[in-house]
Amino acid sequence: MAAPSPQPRKPVILTVDDDPAVSRAVARDLRRRYGADFRIMRAENGPDALAALNELKLRGETVAVFIADHRMPQMTGIEFLEAAMDLFPLARRVLLTAYADTHAAIDAINIVDLDHYLLKPWDPPEEKLYPVIDALIEAWRQTGDRAIPHTKIIGHPWNARSSEVREFLARNRLYYTWFRADEPKGRQLLEAAGLDDSTLPVVITEQGTTLVAPTDAELGATLGLSTTPAEDFYDLVVVGGGPAGLAAAVYGASEGLKTVLIERTATGGQAGQSSRIENYLGFPDGVAGSQLAERARRQAEKFDAELITAAEVVGLDVDGAARTVHLSDGRSIGTRAVILAMGVAYRELPADGCSELTGAGVYYGATTSVAADCDGEEVFVIGGANSAGQAAMHLSRTAEKVHIVCRRTLEDSMSHYLIQQIRATGNIVERPYTVVHAVRGNGHLERICLQDLRTGERDEHRCGRMFIFIGAEPRTDWVEQAGIARDDHGFILAGPDLRDVAGWTLDRPPHQLETSVPGVFVAGDVRANSAKRVAAAVGEGSMTVMLVHRYLAEA
């Protein structure tokens, strides 16, 4: 993910000497000359210095120069430099020696690729110390490391949880740097944390905190997201942070309701994962889903809506006018009204081998982090609606070839403007009247087996990654115990759709977007017969707040 301009961190010059007086003198002379541009650190033995280096590595800092005394107990200067090279291989290395130890310094040139050795004492530093360090710093600046001030993820592209963690951070606008565990930088970070590649993914925060295969809730809490409501009671609880939920939070908070929005993953919903939305009113050049979600999130916070991330609603109790929302962590909050805007989840592809390779080449949706890894690959997009078309256009920028596989033709379910764009893109291939029969791979996706619905013929193709958009299903099982009516597919019924549904308890008819439980409203894709468009979701989310006010005035 693109990182903001961080506060620059000074690179480190580290000196190690077991004689406290010498250690202080070296640090003093270095600080006098280089303190404005470098952080001068000192240690009085090798093990302490290595422990400090591990901390620096985990925090993403970098070291420019090591200056180590040769004769030290526990660990000689050469032994220290040999170990330090594993952590910061590009740092320049200086050995402090007495005249009698010059032979050791010469040997060290071969052992640790020593850059220089200095005889003690080095007075005056202007003649004997600074010219040496100046030259080493200049050489380091040409080839040396740069600090990595952001959160670091060490994982593997075919590790499913690694992909999920990258996407969680990206969608929540938490900047990170990605390292493969099978490459030198990743291995160095794992070793600094005392871990290996059996524990992936590993997340190391900017402060050096290490998380091993963390849950979304652990990530959110550690990295500063709000993961638990601050209060026990609200005027309005919005469940779901897609366009409908965000619109409801904006209008609810701006019109004086004490509002909390609870989202299980990241604000934006499926729309937030869209590479570009081109038919949303007011954006003639299109807008990235993540950008739209971020603007809506900031707008909601401006009006003091409370946004909770990585928390899941699992139950709703209704007792007269009281509504109680239950979270997966066991906490409950009371509210006067509820808006259900949970959106939908991608429908699973029933092809042979698909579930085993999910997250290892098989993906639901085209996540930002995974799409960036498709450079030069042949990829397949499964589905024929707008979300599939937008993903295909986005992937075509880097992938060698993009195949769109759909059961019918694009004209059956995709917007005309998007079809035109796809057919004008040379590396996108349409495969109509086709389904995925099976996927193959050893640890990750390698081949895809397609079946022609007209002829029944099957053929296999090499495939680097497959992105699935075959419709969506609501996650609404938990609302049933509250008496909220759903249709045969699990979508929530509201307003006029409740005419033939028993259970309505009031003399008045339900409001337009009110569910079978008074005071509980529904908006967006989770509503039965909704338009499944971003603009419609935003409109419904806004409209529910007007209906909430009407309900509260009647109560």
Residues 12-143, CATH architecture: 3-Layer(aba) Sandwich (3.40)
DSSP state of 250: H
Judge if the upstream peptide bond of residue 121 is cis by omega within 30 degrees of 0: yes
Q: What angle do CA 459, 472, 358 make, to 5 degrees?
A: 50
pLDDT of the residue at 3: 46
Distance between CA atoms of 21 and 370, rounded to whole angstroms?
54
The H or E element containing residue 452 is strand 447-452
The answer to whether domain 233-344+474-554 has CATH 3.50.50.60 is yes
CA 378 to each of CA 274, 386, 398, 408, 451: distance values in angstroms, whole numbers, following the listed order: 20, 21, 10, 22, 18
Q: Which residues, 6 or more positions from 289, have their beta carbon under 8 angstroms from its beta carbon?
A: 268, 271, 272, 273, 274, 275, 276, 277
Measured in degrees and rounded to the nearest 5, phi and psi for residue 419 equal -60, -40
Measured in degrees and rounded to the nearest 5, phi and psi for residue 368 equal -60, -45
CA 44 to chain centre: 40
- Identify which of 248, 341, 361, 230 has the alpha carbon closest to the alpha carbon of residue 303: 248
Cβ(476)–Cβ(492) below 8 Å: yes
β-sheet bridge partners, residue 323: 318, 335
pLDDT of the residue at 71: 86
The fourth-level CATH superfamily of domain 362-471 is FAD/NAD(P)-binding domain (3.50.50.60)
pLDDT of the residue at 103: 65
Distance between CA atoms of 385 and 382, rounded to whole angstroms?
10
Task: Write out the residue limits of the CATH 3.50.50.60 domain(s) in the chain.
Answer: 233-344+474-554, 362-471
Q: pTM, whole model, 2 decimals?
A: 0.81
Task: Write out the residue limits of the CATH 3.40.50.2300 domain(s) in the chain.
Answer: 12-143
Distance between CA atoms of 235 and 335, rounded to whole angstroms?
5
DSSP state of 198: G
Each of the 555 residues of the chain gets a pLDDT tens digit; together they read: 444 445 568 999 999 999 999 899 999 999 999 999 999 999 999 999 999 999 999 998 999 999 999 889 889 998 999 899 889 989 999 988 876 566 666 666 666 678 888 888 788 899 989 999 999 999 999 887 777 778 999 999 999 999 999 989 988 888 899 999 999 999 999 999 999 999 999 999 988 999 999 999 999 999 999 999 999 999 999 999 999 999 999 999 999 999 999 999 999 988 888 878 888 899 898 888 888 999 999 999 999 999 999 999 999 999 988 999 999 999 999 999 999 999 999 899 999 999 999 999 999 988 767 777 888 899 999 999 999 999 999 999 989 999 999 999 999 999 999 999 999 999 999 999 999 999 999 999 999 999 999 999 999 999 989 999 998 899 999 999 999 999 999 999 999 999 878 778 888 999 999 999 999 999 999 999 999 889 999 999 999 999 999 999 997
- Identify which of 252, 262, 268, 247 has the alpha carbon closest to the alpha carbon of residue 325: 262
- Identify which of 123, 474, 521 has the alpha carbon closest to the alpha carbon of residue 339: 521
Radius of gyration of the chain (CA): 30
pLDDT of the residue at 277: 86
> What is the identity of the amino acid at 302?
K
Distance between CA atoms of 167 and 155, rounded to whole angstroms?
13
CA 248 to each of CA 40, 299, 320, 513: distance values in angstroms, whole numbers, following the listed order: 52, 11, 24, 12
Distance between CA atoms of 115 and 144, rounded to whole angstroms?
14
DSSP state of 121: P
Which strands make up the sheet holding 401-405, listed edge to edge?
A: 362-364, 465-468, 378-382, 401-405, 428-431
Distance between CA atoms of 389 and 407, rounded to whole angstroms?
14
Cβ(539)–Cβ(341) below 8 Å: no
Residues 247, 251, 253, 257, Cα dihedral to 10°: -120
Distance between CA atoms of 289 and 132, rounded to whole angstroms?
53
CATH class, 151-220 region: alpha beta
Cβ(493)–Cβ(457) below 8 Å: no
